[in-house]
């Protein structure tokens, strides 16, 4: 079988001489074997080339991803530093507000809100990154966790300040602390004096503020009008009850603008200045009482 010969006849279209050739089976087998080997060698190189090309593309993609991650980390670190500086400024203002409101000042360690006792970052999440990148990611993760805790501390502090300010505003609004008229020209002070009409020495439990007829008179604190009427001595007068035991009286008024039982607000116009009742001139007689005892109104002016 191996020694059998095969003939190959080539007949040209041009009419040239017919060419013949012969070869045995072993030659054919060798030829096909060589072609088969060449085919697999070519296939191996083609597959290898595509594998190499794929690896190069993956490497380029990995390098590009690494650069992007590094840039994101760098940008995040810059943003973190900026936010930390802003938070530090807020905390300085927080300290100033607490001092102003006579509150306990938070110490620096509490403001920094340190972290400890537990794992901040699971390093297995960063196992595919280089050591340098792992360090940066750990630092950033730690910093962000600390920043979050600092923000929580600051939020709680600001809520405390807000509550204190609201309490102070409420206290100020319900405490007589302003003059009842724009003019604070005192014509008669609080204390013993000689009465301008009777000429007798007596205790003046108010202050008299001079002005002009029709000048606005204002409530010096939030409250409820418990009396708004005329009396022989005080003339047209208004008495307002405030919280925490305070009462205020405004007398010798030209015109009343509120009624008994009406709620009034601090700085609300309640009357016009006049000279009704027993008086020698245009003014407002203003007195402050605390739990029924008279106070020097001047000490309540802020």
Kindly tell me if the per-residue pLDDT of 255 is higher than 90: yes
Beta-strand relationship, 283-290 and 5-10: unpaired
Give the HSE-up count for residue 2: Cα atoms under 13 Å, Cβ half-sphere: 3
% residues pLDDT > 90 (the chain): 32
Tokens of 59: 């490497």
Q: How confident is the model at residue 126 (pLDDT cuts 50, 70, 90)?
A: low
Query: Is residue 287 pLDDT above 60, yes or no?
Result: yes
pLDDT of 291 higher than 60 = yes
Whether 122 shows a pLDDT value over 60: the answer reads no
Beta strand segments in 126-231, E: 185-188, 191-194, 201-204, 207-210, 216-218, 223-231
Rounded distance between C-alpha atoms, residue 98 and residue 105, angstroms? 6
What pTM did the predictor assign?
0.57
Q: What pLDDT digit, counting tens, does each position of 24-71 carry?
A: 667 677 778 888 888 888 888 888 888 888 888 888 887 787 788 778
Cβ neighbours of residue 84 under 8 Å, at least 6 residues apart? 143, 147
Q: How crowded is residue 124: how many other Cβ atoms within 10 Å of its Cβ?
A: 7
Write out the two tokens for 205.
């439990």
Q: Say if CB 273 and CB 212 are below 8 A apart.
A: yes
pLDDT class for 127, splitting at 50, 70, 90? low
Beta carbons within 8 Å of 202's beta carbon, 6+ residues apart = 192, 193, 194, 195
Residue, of 118 and 289, whose pLDDT is higher: 289
Of residues 255 and 52, more confidence is placed in: 255
Confidence of residue 119 (pLDDT cuts 50, 70, 90): very low
Q: How confident is the model at residue 120 (pLDDT cuts 50, 70, 90)?
A: very low
Model confidence pLDDT, tens digit, residues 194-244 = 766 666 777 889 999 999 999 999 999 999 999 999 999 999 999 999 998
pLDDT digits (tens, 9 = 90+) for 139-186: 777 777 888 888 888 888 888 888 888 888 888 899 999 999 987 789
CA distance 184 to 179: 7
Partners of residue 237 on adjacent β-strands: 229
Helix axes 131-173, 25-100, angle to 10 degrees: 30
CA–CA gap between residue 231 and residue 258 (Å, rounded): 16
- Cα(58)–Cα(50) distance, integer angstroms: 12
pLDDT score for 61? 82
pLDDT value at residue 53: 86
CA dihedral 272, 278, 282, 284 (to 10 degrees): -50
């Amino acid at each position: 079988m191996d020694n059998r010969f095969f003939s190959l006849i080539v007949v040209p279209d041009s009419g040239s001489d017919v060419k013949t050739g012969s070869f045995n089976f072993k030659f054919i087998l060798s030829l096909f074997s060589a072609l088969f080997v060449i085919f697999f060698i070519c296939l191996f190189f083609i597959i290898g080339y595509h594998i190499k090309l794929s690896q190069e593309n993956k490497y380029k993609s990995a390098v590009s991803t690494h650069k992007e991650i590094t840039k994101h980390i760098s940008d995040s670190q810059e943003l973190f530093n900026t936010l930390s500086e802003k938070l530090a400024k807020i905390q300085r203002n927080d300290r100033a507000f607490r001092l102003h409101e006579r509150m306990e000042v938070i110490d620096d360690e509490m403001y920094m809100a340190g972290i400890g006792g537990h794992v901040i970052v699971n390093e297995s999440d960063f196992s595919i990154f280089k050591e340098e990148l792992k360090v940066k990611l750990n630092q950033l993760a730690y910093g962000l966790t600390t920043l979050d805790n600092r923000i929580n501390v600051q939020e709680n502090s600001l809520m405390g300040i807000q509550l204190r300010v609201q309490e102070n505003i409420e206290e100020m609004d319900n405490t007589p602390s302003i003059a009842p008229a724009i003019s604070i020209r005192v014509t008669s002070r609080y204390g013993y004096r000689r009465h301008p009409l009777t000429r007798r020495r007596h205790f003046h439990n108010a202050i008299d503020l001079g002005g002009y007829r029709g000048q606005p008179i204002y409530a010096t604190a939030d409250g409820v009008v418990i009396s708004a009427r005329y009396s022989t001595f005080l003339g047209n007068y208004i008495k307002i009850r405030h919280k925490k035991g305070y009462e205020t009286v405004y007398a010798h008024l030209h015109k009343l603008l509120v009624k008994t039982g009406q709620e009034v607000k601090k700085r609300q116009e309640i009357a016009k200045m006049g000279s009704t009742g027993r008086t020698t001139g245009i003014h407002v007689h203003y007195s402050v009482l605390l739990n029924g005892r008279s106070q020097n109104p001047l000490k309540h002016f802020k």
